[in-house]
Amino acid sequence: MFYLLAASLLWAFSFGLIKGQLTGYDPVLVACARLLLASLVFVPVVWRAGLPRAISRRAMALGVVQFGAMYVLYIAAFAWLPAWQVALFTIFTPLYVVAMADAAGRRFVPRHLLGALIAVAGAAVVLRGDFGQADWRGVLLLQGANLCFAWGQLRFVGLQRAAGGQDAALLGWMYLGAFLATLLTVAVRVPGQICLLPTWGSSALWSLLYLGLLPTGVGFYLWNRGAVRTAAGSLAVANNLKVPLAVLVSWLVFGENAAYGWAVLGLGLVVAGLAVAADSIKNFRRPGNSRIPG
């Protein structure tokens, strides 16, 4: 659980930086650059690990889905939805994690579903949005992004087991696959756009460097590492920790006029969801003892 909380805190800080420093820049190019930086961080680990080619290819394919396709679908939704609705309709990931984990294990655990529903309610309380006034095209794109991220974090468990527990090397290959996918998207959308990156302002480039190395590079690594070591129900609920944490960070660190009272209430609900969904210690997944098939 520590890894999931640490990743959520990193992501919570990234919202304020994106809002303050990267608004107005092409979001797909931002995602592409972040994934490139994340890939470079893990190059030494990938080089030393010497994973079998079959495992490396599986990791790249998983990265294309969990990070690359997720980013592309997520960013495409902004064409149909305002930013607050984009945040609102990302809160259903816990439900997808529970459904996929239970389907893979051929079981139904009501406690996991109840915990996920409480986590969704907690995030909804924080955002306090109108579910009825949204363009269905953007909503569908976001649900595609949610499904990609949910499927990826569960699938990583089996892949990590097949790789003998080499989390960092796997993430390096995943980042590379995701980077190539977003690079292709940038090339198709606006050919030659990568060349514009050096013309960005210095504050934007420094923010991009931070976001690529920490929230993307370290954040996703911590999240997938935590996914291997956390029970499915708790993993599902933890997907919504970043929502109230982001509001609290925006208020405490970036000085925004945030609804911190609602954020505290929402965080309390997400924590309650964790308590409801938590399995006993003996049922927690451990490396090499996953219930999610590879």
Is residue 210 within 8 A of residue 96, CB to CB? The reply is no
pLDDT for position 264:
75
Residue 68 to residue 32: CA distance in whole angstroms: 9
Looking at the predicted structure, is the pLDDT value of residue 276 above 90? no
Mean pLDDT, to the nearest integer, of 159-173? 87
Mean pLDDT, to the nearest integer, of 211-227? 88
**DSSP readout, 177-219?**
HHHHHHHHHHHHHSTTGGGGGGGS-HHHHHHHHHHIIIIIIIH
Note the pLDDT tens digit of each residue in 72-97. Answer: 888 778 778 776 677 777 788 888 88
Tell me, rounded to whole angstroms, the distance of Cα 14 from its chain centroid: 12
Looking at the predicted structure, is the pLDDT value of residue 152 above 60? yes
The overall longest dimension of the chain from CA atoms, in Å, is 54
DSSP code for 292: S
**Averaged confidence pLDDT in the chain:** 78
Looking at the predicted structure, is the pLDDT value of residue 280 above 60? no
Percent of the chain with pLDDT over 90: 13
Looking at the predicted structure, is the pLDDT value of residue 291 above 70? no
**Which residue in the block uniquely carries the two structure tokens 């984009």?**
86
| Residue, of 85 and 272, whose pLDDT is higher | 272
Closest CA to 87 of 132, 118, 116, 124: 124
Is residue 258 within 8 A of residue 251, CB to CB? The reply is yes
Closest CA to 169 of 1, 291, 70, 55: 55
Is residue 228 within 8 A of residue 290, CB to CB? The reply is yes
Closest CA to 294 of 194, 29, 285: 285
Cβ partners under 8 Å of residue 96, min gap 6: 146, 147, 150, 151
| Residue 110: pLDDT band with limits 50, 70, 90 | confident
Mean pLDDT, to the nearest integer, of 64-72? 89
| Of the ranges 10-14, 137-141, 189-193, the best mean pLDDT one | 137-141
| Residue, of 167 and 243, whose pLDDT is higher | 167
Looking at the predicted structure, is the pLDDT value of residue 212 above 80? yes
DSSP code for 131: S
| Residue 130: pLDDT band with limits 50, 70, 90 | low
pLDDT for position 61:
95
Residue length, the chain?
A: 294
Cβ partners under 8 Å of residue 156, min gap 6: 62, 66, 170, 224, 227, 228
Closest CA to 177 of 52, 56, 33: 56
| Residue 286: pLDDT band with limits 50, 70, 90 | very low
